[in-house]
Amino acid sequence: MDDVQDVLASPTLSRLLLFTYLVPVFGMVPAAWTLTRRKSDRYHRNLSRLTMTLGMTWILGSLMFNASLGMIDENAVSAQIWMTLFNSVFSSSYFVVSLWLMMRLWQRQSLDLPGFSSIAKHLP
């Protein structure tokens, strides 16, 4: 049993878990699981909060764009195109930011995002 605890406490596995938090969309599952555990490391909880903040912002933004797209008149094709374009840029930005954070984690740099990190710190 001690061997299992040693493997789970290894720095390599811990860093790999940090990468899984940053996987767009799917990383929210291990991040939420980490936030429900009270024994998790402070750094892991902070990154989990940031991941959840980014993911929930993306989900709410996409829902907002899709809802507004549904309210646009069918004859307003240019408005539909613009709304679809904004939704695409918004979703692509979420994926690019996640990949950028992965790159910063790989380089062992700070993972703070202006605005989002301060919001994430106020989450439980």
pTM for the whole thing? 0.83
Split at pLDDT 50, 70, 90, the class of 6 is: low
Q: Which two tokens stand for residue 77?
A: 């094709």
Contact between 49 and 123 (Cβ < 8 Å): yes
The letter for the amino acid at 61 is G
Q: Is residue 119 exposed (0-12), middle (13-18) or buried (19+ Cβ within 10 Å)?
A: middle
- Give the integer Cα–Cα distance in Å for 10 and 91: 34
Angle between helical axes of 11-21 and 28-36 (0-180°, round to 10): 120
Q: What is the pLDDT of residues 82-96, one digit of tens each?
A: 888 999 999 999 999
| Per-residue pLDDT, 123 | 66
Q: Per-residue pLDDT averaged across 39-50, rounded? A: 87
- Give the integer Cα–Cα distance in Å for 20 and 3: 23
Mean pLDDT of the chain: 85
- Give the integer Cα–Cα distance in Å for 83 and 69: 6
Residue 92: count of CB within 10 angstroms of its CB: 10
